[in-house]
Structure 1
Amino acid sequence: MPTPVIAIFDIGKTNKKLFLFNERYEIIWEKAEQFAEIPDEDGDPCEDLKRLTHWVESSMSEVLDLPDFTVRAVNFSTYGASLVYLDAECHPIGCLYNYLKPYPDAVRRQFYQTYGDEATMALQTASPNLDSLNSGLMLYRIKYDKPRLYWRIWYALHLPQYLSFLFTRQVLSDVTSIGCHTMLWDFEKNQYHDWVRAEKLDNLFAPVLPSDSFLKAIIMDRPLYVGVGLHDSSAALIPYLASFQEPFVLISTGTWCVSMNPFNSQPLTPEELQYDCLNYMHYKGQPVKASRLFAGYEHEQQTRRLAEHFHVAIDHYVGIDYNPVLIEQLREHSMPVNGHGEPTGSQMLSMRGSLFAERNLSAFATYEEAYHQLMLDIIAQQLISTNLVLADSSDGRTSVKRIFVDGGFGKNPIYMNLLATAFPDIEVFAASVAQASALGAALAIHHHWNPLPLPGNSIELKKYTAFQPQRRTTSLGSF
C-alpha cells in the first residue's frame, strides 16, 4: 500500500531541496541540489530561473512516479525578496535578480524625493532601507531603469508563488512574502503602501490568499492540493508556534541569521530599523518582530579564507570543538583589527560589515585559534541583533525565557556555547526540528491533506550552558 505524503520544495539561495513527509511529518524521502549562479544582463550574479524551473517540474514528476508513495499535496518554502516576472502569456521574462544586486543611486534618490524620507518610509513599511533586498524597490527600479522590460510585465510573483503557479497556472500572492522587508506593505494601514498604488504597481500583483490556503490541480493525471507557498523564515516559525505558548525567540540560521520574536508587539523604532530590524509576517497575518544578520554568509566567506591561509579543507571547522580556555585567552588578549584595536560599538552595530575580514590571519598561530575568533566576532554581532527583538514591553524588559536556534549554527558547538554565554539569564537550546521551514510549509496546509490530528511528537532540544552543552536531550512541548 503506497504511503500518503506531502511534497515540500524548500528553495534556499544555496541549496534546493525536495522532501516527502508522511502523515506523522517524518521525512521519508529527500533530494537536494546546488546550482551555480548565472550573470544577468548587467553581469551581476543571479538565480538560474530556467534551471530552477526545470528542476522543480522534473523533481515533481519523479516523486509522482515513485510506486511507494501517493503524493496528496505539495507546498513551497523559499527565500524572500525575489520576484519572478511574467508576460502576457505567463512566460517568465527578465531575470530572477539577486537581492544583493547593486542599486542605482539616481533611482534611489528619485524614489525618496518623490515619496518621502527614508526613515518615514522604513517605519511605515517595517522595512529597513536595503535597496535590492526590498523587492518593491527592485520592481520600481525596473520601471525606470529597464522600461522595456517593465512594460512587458503583466504579473510580478514572489518566488514561492511562482513555484505554486508552475502547478496550478494561477497567479496569487501571500502575506508572508509581501510582508518580508519588501517596502510594499503599509503595516499601519494593513494594505499596499500609497507609493505602490501611485506607481500602479499593485496592478501587477495577484490577489492575496491566506498562507494556509490551497488550490486544486491535476498533475500527471493525479489530483493534488497545491499550497500557495511561504517565505522560508515565516514558515520556519510555524512548528514552534504550534509547540510552545510561552514567549520565545527563534534564531533561524542559514545564509541569514534571523531572530524572530512573535510575542513582541512593540512598534519598530527608527534605531531598530537602522540596525536591520524589521517585521516579518506571521502566516496568519500578524506582524512578527525580527532582526537579521548576514552571519551564515559571513561564516561561509571567512571559512574559505581560513582554509586557504592554513591549507586545510573548506569544511575543516566541522571537526573543531568548543574550547572555553581558548575563548578566555582570546578575550583577555584581544586581537587588533587592522592594527586599530577592537571595533567600536557603532562598528558592530552597523551589522552590515564583517569584523573578522579585517583581521590579519598571520596573527593566529593555528586554525583553531582563528576559527574561535571568527565565532567570537559573529556572536558579538548576534548578541546585538537578537537583543533588538527581545524587549517586548515599553519599559525595555523581556518576557522571553527561551531562545531556540535552528539551522546550521544550531549544530555548531562553538556558536551555541558562545550564545549561551551571551544570554546567561535565558535558556538557550539547539532545536532538532528537521528542516523547520519545510515542516512549517507542510503544517500550514495540514487540515487540507492530512486526515490525522496534528502529531504529538516532541521537538527535541539540546540545552547549552555558558561553558558546554548538557549531556542529555530534553523534550519540551509538542505539536
Structure 2
Amino acid sequence: MTATVVLDIGKTNVKLALIDADGRQLAERRRANAVLRDGPYPHHDTEGIWHWMLDGLGEFATMAAIDAIVPVTHGATAALVDDDGLTLPIPDYEHEPAVPLAQYLAVRPAYADTRSPRLPAGLNLGRQLAWLATAYPIEFARTRHILMYPQYWAWRLCGVAAGEVTSLGCHTDLWDPARQQYSGLVDKMGWQDLLPPLRRAWDTLGTILPALAAQTGLPAGCRVVCGIHDSNASLLRHLGGSDGPAVLSTGTWVIAAAPGKPLDGLREEADMLANTSASGHAVPSMRFMGGREFAELAGANPVSCDAAALQRMIDGGTYALPGFAGAGGPFAGRAGSVAGPAPVNDKERCALATLYCVLMSDYCLSALGADGAIVVEGSFTNNPHFAPLLAALRPGQSVAVTDDASGTTCGGWMLAHWGSVPRARSAIAAPLRLDRWVAYRDAWLHRLN
C-alpha cells in the first residue's frame, strides 16, 4: 500500500499524518508547537520538530510505502539558511521585533500595493526580516536563502530551495497580489537574490536525501513536495469554480476567505487582506484568532455546552466583546471584556465562547460580502453548535460542515496527488433557532460601535 505523509505545523500543534491513496487517514502523531526562549529571542523549536518528525516517518515507513511528503505550515514565518542550516533561529511571530516601528514604516509598501494590513509584533514578515538584517548583520550576511516556512522543511528533506506564493502572499508585505509579483519592499531591501525560484505548491522539488531515507526506512524515491500555507491548503478543495463557496478555516486562527470577491472592498484598519491561492489568484480574506479566543473565554476546564446554556447567555444579556488574543483581527487594540452577568460554570463559559466565535465569524463574512454558500472546516467542526448558530444568522445561505476536522491535511494530500480531490463529505447545518438569537447579534454589533 502506498501513502502520503503530511507534515502539518499549526501555531498551536504539529501533526504528522499518514494518508492512503484514496485520501483516508491511516495514522497520525501530534505534539505541541513549543516556542523556545533560550536564544536571542523567542523562536520555534525546529530541532525538536525535526527529530520528532523523523521518528514518526520511521514509524510510518513500517505501515506503508511512503511515496511523498508534503509540508503545510502557518504563515508569517521564514527561515534564513546557508548551506549548513539556519543562520539564525526562526522567530516566533508573536514576538515584538526590537527595531523601531517608524524605521520599518519608512520602507513598508502601501496597503493598496500589497493588501497586507499593518499588524502587531512580527505578523508582517517583512518587519521580521528587516529587524534581523539590522540586529544581526553578520548572520544575515551569511544567509544564502530566505525560505518560507513550508519550503524550509522541504529544503531540509530534499536539499532543494524554493519559494511559493501562498506563504509569500500571507500578509508579509513582500508580495503584490494583484500583479502576482514581489512588492517594492524586496527591491528596497536588496533581498531579490536571497529569495529562491518560485515553484508551484504541488511541484515535486526532489526526492528525500539518501541519508534520511536510510535513517527512516523511507523509499529512496520518496518525493518531497514544495508545500503550502495552511489556510490555503484548507481552501484547495473548494476552489473548483468562480462561484465557489466562502470558506471558514478554523483553528488557532479563524480565516474567512471569499474567492471571487473584489479586492476594492478590503480595509486595512479592519485587518482585511488578500491572500494568494495556490493557483496564483488573490483571495479576499479576514481573520481573528478564534481558537485562542475560544480558549480564553471557555477557561481552563473546557467542556461541551448545550442549547440550554447558550439560551441562558442570550436571555441574560451576557456578551463577550473583542478581543481576547491581542494579535490582529478586526478589533485589534481593543481589550476584551464580558458585559452582563458573568457565566457561572464551565458549560456557560463554553456557551459564551461559542456565541462569541460565531458572531465574529458572521461579522467577517459580512464584511467580505460573502453572500453565497459557506463551508466550515477545521477544529470548529467538532463544536456541534457552531455551524447551526451561524446558519441561523445567515438565512438564504447554506452552511456546510466538512467531514474533515483538518482541511490542511486534506489540502496537503491533494498537492501530492494534484488533479485528484478526495471524496468530500459535508453536511448542511440545520439552523439552531434560539429565542432572540438574531436580536442578540444585533445588540452585540451595536455594542461594538
TM-score with structure 1 setting the length? 0.81
Paired residues, number: 422
The Cα offsets for residues 156-182 of structure 1, whole Å up to 9 and x where unpaired, read as 111100111112101111111111111
Pair 299,428 (structure 1): closer, same or farther in 2 beyond 3 Å: same
Query: What's 1:185 paired with?
Result: 175
The match for 1:351 among 331, 334, 340 is 331
The match for 1:294 among 265, 268, 289 is 289
Query: What's 1:72 paired with?
Result: 67
Letter in 2 for 1:167: L
The Cα offsets for residues 243-286 of structure 1, whole Å up to 9 and x where unpaired, read as x774311100000000111222x12446x222111111111111
Question: Secondary structure of the equivalent of 2:222?
Answer: strand
Judge conservation of contact 2:234–2:407 (CA < 8 Å) in 1.
yes
Query: What's 2:22 paired with?
Result: 24
In 2: Cα distance, 1:336 partner to 1:178 partner: 37
Question: Secondary structure of the equivalent of 1:85?
Answer: strand
Runs of 4+ in 1 over 6 A off after TM superposition: none
The Cα offsets for residues 84-111 of structure 1, whole Å up to 9 and x where unpaired, read as 1112x331132221111113462x2112
Query: What's 1:47 paired with?
Result: 44
Report the Cα offset of residue 371 of structure 1. Answer: 2.9
Letter in 1 for 2:142: R
User: Equivalent residues in 2 for 1:191-202 (5 A)?
Assistant: 191-202=181-192
Report the Cα offset of residue 409 of structure 1. Answer: 1.2
Judge conservation of contact 1:172–1:206 (CA < 8 Å) in 2.
yes
The Cα offsets for residues 263-322 of structure 1, whole Å up to 9 and x where unpaired, read as 22x12446x22211111111111111111111111112232xx34xxxxxx23x23x223
The match for 2:130 among 140, 155, 164 is 140
Query: What's 1:373 paired with?
Result: 352
The Cα offsets for residues 68-93 of structure 1, whole Å up to 9 and x where unpaired, read as 41111111111111011112x33113
In 1: Cα distance, 2:6 partner to 2:225 partner: 10
The match for 1:223 among 207, 221, 224 is 221
Pair 280,362 (structure 1): closer, same or farther in 2 beyond 3 Å: same
In 2: Cα distance, 1:103 partner to 1:297 partner: 22
The match for 2:343 among 364, 368, 371 is 364
Pair 255,173 (structure 1): closer, same or farther in 2 beyond 3 Å: same
Pair 410,152 (structure 1): closer, same or farther in 2 beyond 3 Å: same
User: Equivalent residues in 2 for 1:310-321 (5 A)?
Assistant: 314-315=301-302, 317-318=303-304, 320-321=305-306
User: Equivalent residues in 2 for 1:9-408 (5 A)?
Assistant: 9-39=7-37, 41-42=39-40, 44=42, 46-64=43-61, 66=62, 68-87=63-82, 89-104=83-98, 106=100, 108-115=101-108, 121-131=110-120, 132-218=122-208, 219-220=213-214, 222-242=220-240, 246-264=243-261, 266-269=262-265, 272-303=267-298, 306-307=299-300, 314-315=301-302, 317-318=303-304, 320-323=305-308, 326-335=309-318, 350-352=330-332, 357-359=336-338, 363-391=342-370, 398=371, 400=372, 402-408=373-379
Report the Cα offset of residue 390 of structure 1. Answer: 2.5
In 2: Cα distance, 1:184 partner to 1:212 partner: 22
Question: Secondary structure of the equivalent of 2:392?
Answer: helix
Judge conservation of contact 2:35–2:44 (CA < 8 Å) in 1.
yes
In 2: Cα distance, 1:115 partner to 1:458 partner: 41
Judge conservation of contact 1:411–1:430 (CA < 8 Å) in 2.
no
The Cα offsets for residues 379-437 of structure 1, whole Å up to 9 and x where unpaired, read as 3322222212235xxxxxx4x1x211111112212322321222122111221135311
2:427 aligned with 1:461, yes or no? yes
In 2: Cα distance, 1:62 partner to 1:389 partner: 44
Report the Cα offset of residue 130 of structure 1. Answer: 1.3
Letter in 1 for 2:271: D
Pair 454,207 (structure 1): closer, same or farther in 2 beyond 3 Å: closer
Letter in 2 for 1:23: A
In 2: Cα distance, 1:388 partner to 1:73 partner: 39
In 2: Cα distance, 1:379 partner to 1:353 partner: 21
Query: What's 2:412 paired with?
Result: 441
Letter in 2 for 1:130: L
In 1: Cα distance, 2:193 partner to 2:236 partner: 31
Judge conservation of contact 1:19–1:27 (CA < 8 Å) in 2.
yes
Report the Cα offset of residue 465 of structure 1. Answer: 0.8
Q: Structure 1: which 5+ runs fail to align?
A: 308-313, 392-397, 448-452, 469-479
Pair 262,363 (structure 1): closer, same or farther in 2 beyond 3 Å: closer
Letter in 2 for 1:247: G
Pair 135,349 (structure 1): closer, same or farther in 2 beyond 3 Å: closer
Judge conservation of contact 2:80–2:147 (CA < 8 Å) in 1.
yes
Letter in 1 for 2:91: Y
Pair 461,43 (structure 1): closer, same or farther in 2 beyond 3 Å: same
Pair 139,215 (structure 1): closer, same or farther in 2 beyond 3 Å: same
In 2: Cα distance, 1:208 partner to 1:140 partner: 21
Query: What's 2:381 paired with?
Result: 410
The Cα offsets for residues 120-161 of structure 1, whole Å up to 9 and x where unpaired, read as x22211111114111122101111233233222221111100
Report the Cα offset of residue 222 of structure 1. Answer: 1.6
Question: Secondary structure of the equivalent of 1:413?
Answer: coil
Pair 322,442 (structure 1): closer, same or farther in 2 beyond 3 Å: same
Letter in 1 for 2:80: Y
